Amino acid sequence: MSFTQDDITRSGYRLPTAPPDSWRTYDERNPIPGYFEFDWLSSRHPDLYHQFALSTVGLMNKLHTLFDLTGCDVVDIGAGTGRSAMEAAKKAKRVFAVDLYESVVAFGRNALQKIGVTNVHYVIGDREHLPLAENSVDVAINAWAELNPHEAYRVIKPNGYLIQMGATLEALCGEITAELAPDYEWIPQVVAPAEVYAPDYPDAHCTADNSIWGGIPVNGPIHVHQFTYVADYGDYTELAAITGRLYGSKAKCYFLTKQQATFAWRLQLMIGQVSK
């Protein structure tokens, strides 16, 4: 089944999952590329999102060195295909993986079943109305996704934690940020220097003394940890195809020209204890 971009947008990205690998020929009926359409990506092409999302594994591996999820009930807000939820489940008691789109939820459930993980519970739900009771989780995690602070606050238990993860502001598109920034107004024009992407570039840690974090009352400082993570895709032509589809032809040329199968990120975790 093929749709026009208008069909897809009008549906609120709720059309059925497209066949695996069809992203390689996406938009045949409407050649406008639609780069950076991450909702389209989640809702129509979870296979592409899952292949791309290795940086989330890096974030979660680092999180396990900074914070002990052992025995915790965790909600993963904007869980996608499950990269973050599956990693959290290695330590947590239960993970409630919440996402708006059926396609990523179906993909994630199937992947969990294949590897025999039983402590991740996928729920289709909106971050604006989380399908969880108040004070029901010890930790809310949010990787490469947005949250509604009031809803996150509502479901986190007193003295529970909020953990937000993604890239640093000046490195939103990883090592290709400087290449892309001139073409996209929304990318901050002050970009991280190239050296931060070297695999041995040191971690940085600081604390921010806020009593309110993004609308959420917190106890004590927010911990901010930045580190470099190099995702290995194994095959540079595949990485070029993936990034070309997501970020455009400049990204594709970058990896093809360098014959590079790795993608380096400067990532950031922020951890705060909720005050109730």
Distances (CA, A) of 225 to 79, 162, 216: 21, 14, 19
Please say which residue, 42 or 226, places its beta carbon nearer to ligand SAM.
42
Closest CB 56 distance from ligand SAM, rounded Å: 4
Q: Rounded to the nearest whole angstrom, what is the least distance from the CB of residue 3 to ligand SAM in the complex?
A: 18
Three-class SS of residue 266? strand
Amino acid at 178: A
Question: Which is closer to ligand SAM, CB of 123 or CB of 204?
Answer: 123
* Residue with smaller CB distance to ligand SAM, 49 or 254: 49
How near is the Cβ of 252 to ligand SAM at its closest, in Å? 20
**Shortest Cβ distance from residue 123 to ligand SAM (Å)?**
10
Q: Tell the smallest beta-carbon distance from residue 269 to ligand SAM (Å).
A: 12
Q: What are the residues facing 122 on neighbouring strands?
A: 97
Site residues (CB under 6 A) for ligand SAM? 38-39, 42, 53, 56, 78-80, 83-84, 98-101, 104, 126-127, 143-145
Q: Which is closer to ligand SAM, CB of 214 or CB of 221? A: 214
By the 8 A CB rule, do 80 and 42 touch? yes
Taking the least distance from each CB to ligand SAM, the nearer of 153 and 276 is 153
- In the bound state with ligand SAM, the residue whose beta carbon lies nearer, of 88 and 216, is 88
User: Among all residues, whose Cβ is closest to ligand SAM?
Assistant: 80
Supply the minimum distance, in Å, between the C-beta of residue 156 and ligand SAM. 16
| Per-residue tokens: 177 | 């940020």
CA-CA distances (angstroms) from residue 139 to 134, 161, 253, 260? 13, 5, 40, 37
- How far is 262 from 243, CA to CA, in rounded Å? 11
User: Whose Cβ is closer to ligand SAM: residue 50's or residue 252's?
Assistant: 50
- Residues 81, 53 contacting (CB under 8 angstroms): yes
What is the per-residue DSSP string for 201-221? PPPEEEEE--SEETTEEEEEE
Name the nearest CA neighbour of 239 among 254, 261, 264.
Answer: 261
Long-range CB contacts for residues 173-181, cutoff 8 Å, separation at least 24: 173/247, 173/251, 174/55, 174/263, 174/264, 174/265, 174/266, 175/263, 175/264, 175/265, 176/243, 176/247, 176/250, 176/251, 176/254, 176/263, 179/250, 179/251, 179/254, 180/247, 180/248, 180/250, 180/251
Smallest distance, ligand SAM to C-beta of residue 195, A: 26
